[in-house]
Chains A and B, each alone.
Chain A
Amino acid sequence: MEEKKSLWKRITGSREASLVLILVVMLILVECIQYFGGNGHFLSPTNIGQIFRNNALTMLMALGMLCVLLTAGIDISITSTLAFAGMIVGMLQKNDVCHNTFLLFLIAALIGLACGFLNGLIIAKGHIAPIIVTMGFMYIWRGLAYVVSGNQWASGADVAQFAEFGKDGSAGPYIILIAAYVIFFIVLKWTTYGRRIYAVGSNMEAASVSGINVDKILVSVYMIMGLLAGLSGALSVSIYASAQPNMQYGKEMDVIAACVIGGVSMNGGRGSVVGTFLGALFYAVLAKALPLVGLDSIWQNLIKGIVVLAVVLINTLTQRAMDRAALERREM
């Protein structure tokens, strides 16, 4: 019995579509409050630019986290990797070793890649729970960031030239973001490698039996995550024009939350680049909109937490309803 799905069903059935719907409703609401409150447009180019710039790190790392979550893993060492790579980049400039923006980004990315490789190697070859391994490295890289810093900060004057790349109005962060999202979209959707990641996450044993080198995929996924975390380290120094060993402390949970809102399953095999983008964007818009509608910044975390939990719970309820409907149809 084939019947055309109604538009409503199609929207509520697809995670991406319902997220777009919620986002649009939220944007219109905030825009209305802003505009009729006499405060100009919310959706001005400056505001939109800031939304992306302020959350560039979360958005970038969410891509790597998507890959990791797709293999049913998790990586909580990312912000430590970020701090470690960022701190090295900062110290290289403070001590006048290197001031070449491209070279510094390359160094940060390579450091991240190496960190990720270690993570992946131990997880894949040692068969140890990813959360434990990455927790260990979370401590190690964060501690090393402090050691590298020698209790000093690299401040605005030290990184002045480097900060040109990420300063307000510069196209740098946007280019990196767009490039990363396009590449990941293509790779995850249309390449063998991308499909293999999904295969490993859906059923590791089946993937292994069908000839996929599971260990290799696992290591590569954590390397990608590390690479993005390293890049984010350099980007963070560039955007905020300072390098401190405690930067982005605890923000790994924001990255995971963005993925979860975007419909990425923590059991692996489920999630998409579009969903991740929407999840991260949702999180970002929320952070920007709350102060504008009159809620103090101290309310942000509470609202964010409620949203994350609500999204997760609603998702479970709809999933249950869908399962029940499918069962009923089968019984007919």
Chain B
Amino acid sequence: MAGKSGRTISIEPKKGKFFRWETGLIFIFIAVMIFGTIVSPSFNIKSVFMNMPKYLAEMFMMYAMGYILIIAEIDISVGAIVCLAATMACFANNAGLPFGLQVIICIGIGTLCGILNGAILTHFTELPSMIVTLGTQIIFRGIAEVSMGSGGSISLTDTKAYAALGGSIGIVPIAFILIIVTALIFIFVLSKTTAGRKLYAIGSNHTTALYSGIKVQKVRMICFVLIGTMAGVCALFLLATSFGANTTTGQGFEMDVISMCVFGGIATTGGKGNLVGATIAGFTIVLLKIVLSLLNVSGQTILVVIGILLIVSVLIPSINQALTNKKKKAALAKA
């Protein structure tokens, strides 16, 4: 759509504004927490942490997806990459390889998938990333399906190391600690380094970024490899709670991750949003899932809630924009 040229490169919303997206998100987060304590007697910090690892794995990919969305690309193959990486890790496990090697295989497969996506996209720059990752999505899941054979599932034989990975230090799950570390690194790179600023520049205006000397294709390649790697990490932590993979592993993850980012204020048109918002949004959704599961609400009902949150969250800025435009027009008419 039009109007892309008029965008300024800035991650900070205008100061002094009454409503900041992140503030709103924090309110929603607190509201979910209050809702949880009211409706469920078993809702406390311990039960939350205990249930958390199951839902946290997706969040590893969220940060890389944030980068991808900021440069105005999209990757819908991540769910399939998770499936493939988890399958291969299971094979490595069943072959009796040492745990370290399994980790390398799992993350390595993810990285390889990312490299494939990136290589196609940087060599065929005229293709939209949606189409390419749509194709590779079917391929990655196809490879996993073929290697799993007719049974369609595979499980770990030696679960000891994975169980430790899914465990916790004190009451804090290892996955949670790692998520926080990942979040800090990704947020720092995005908002405090030149590399991060380059992402915004590319997302805001691809051509301008190219002419101002940014190696656009290199950055795109790095982003796609990065999300592949993070998908491998996600697969690892998924195995730590599920101890196996099947043909539907990771199905719909891409949409979950994208919706977390969008709910966190990142625009899919690129150049807008930051990962602080996405982090809060991600944890809000995780918390919501935990609360609903403690309430024994069927897992599917939460889809309605997430969907409504998503639509409302994208509608609010748009309505806001429409209102300011109206005011501006009125002011212009007066003058």
Tell me if B13 is interfacial: C-beta within 8 Å of chain A. Answer: no
Q: Are A139 and B306 in contact (CB under 8 A)?
A: yes
Residue in B closest to A150 when the chains form the complex, CB atoms: B298
Q: Are A126 and B318 in contact (CB under 8 A)?
A: yes
Tell me if A309 is interfacial: C-beta within 8 Å of chain B. Answer: yes
9 contacts between A and B (CB under 8 A): A122-B315, A126-B314, A129-B269, A139-B303, A143-B300, A143-B302, A143-B307, A298-B146, A312-B131
Residues of A contacting B146 with CB < 8 Å? 298-299, 302
Q: Are B124 and A140 in contact (CB under 8 A)?
A: no
From B74, B143, B311, A131 is in contact (CB under 8 Å) with B74
Residues of A contacting B148 with CB < 8 Å? 298
Q: Are B310 and A135 in contact (CB under 8 A)?
A: yes
From A133, A142, A302, B139 is in contact (CB under 8 Å) with A302
Q: Are A266 and B145 in contact (CB under 8 A)?
A: no
Digitize B276-303: 1 where CB-to-A-CB distance is under 8 Å, 0 elsewhere: 0000000000000000000000101111
Say how far B308's CB is from chain A's closest CB, in angstroms: 6
Q: Are A309 and B132 in contact (CB under 8 A)?
A: yes
Tell me if B138 is interfacial: C-beta within 8 Å of chain A. Answer: yes
Residues of B contacting A140 with CB < 8 Å? 303-304, 307-308, 311
Q: Are A253 and B134 in contact (CB under 8 A)?
A: yes
Q: Are B301 and A137 in contact (CB under 8 A)?
A: no
Closest 5 CB pairs between A and B?
A302-B142, A305-B138, A143-B303, A139-B307, A305-B139
Q: Are A147 and B304 in contact (CB under 8 A)?
A: yes
Bound CA–CA A267/B310 (angstroms): 24
Tell me if A108 is interfacial: C-beta within 8 Å of chain B. Answer: no
Tell me if B331 is interfacial: C-beta within 8 Å of chain A. Answer: no
Q: Are B128 and A139 in contact (CB under 8 A)?
A: no
Near B by CB (< 8 A), chain A positions 225-254 give: 245, 249-250, 253
Residue in B closest to A310 when the chains form the complex, CB atoms: B135
Chain B interface (Cβ < 8 Å from any Cβ of A): 1-2, 74, 76, 120, 124, 126-128, 130-132, 134-143, 145-146, 148-150, 152, 251-252, 255, 258-259, 262, 267-269, 298, 300-308, 310-311, 314-315, 318-319
Q: Are A131 and B301 in contact (CB under 8 A)?
A: no
Q: Are A313 and B124 in contact (CB under 8 A)?
A: yes
Chain A interface (Cβ < 8 Å from any Cβ of B): 74, 76, 122, 126-129, 131-133, 135-144, 146-147, 151, 204-205, 245, 249-250, 253, 256-257, 260, 266-267, 296, 298-306, 308-309, 312-313, 316, 319
Say how far A86's CB is from chain B's closest CB, in angstroms: 15
Q: Are B314 and A146 in contact (CB under 8 A)?
A: no
Q: Are B315 and A245 in contact (CB under 8 A)?
A: no
Task: Contacts A128-B318, A298-B148 known; list 16 others, CB within 8 Å.
Answer: A122-B315, A129-B267, A137-B311, A139-B303, A141-B307, A143-B304, A143-B305, A147-B304, A204-B1, A256-B134, A257-B138, A298-B150, A301-B141, A305-B137, A308-B138, A309-B136
From A136, A151, A302, B145 is in contact (CB under 8 Å) with A302
From A136, A267, A298, B311 is in contact (CB under 8 Å) with A136
Residue in A closest to B309 when the chains form the complex, CB atoms: A136
Residues of A contacting B259 with CB < 8 Å? 135-136, 139
Given contacts A136-B310, A308-B138, contact A126 B315 (CB under 8 A): yes
Most chain A Cβ neighbours within 10 Å, of B136, B306, B307: B307
Bound CA–CA A319/B310 (angstroms): 38
Given contacts A135-B258, A146-B300, contact A126 B319 (CB under 8 A): yes
Bound CA–CA A142/B253 (angstroms): 15
Bound CA–CA A42/B157 (angstroms): 44
Residues of B contacting A256 with CB < 8 Å? 134
Q: Are B150 and A127 in contact (CB under 8 A)?
A: no
Say how far A114's CB is from chain B's closest CB, in angstroms: 15
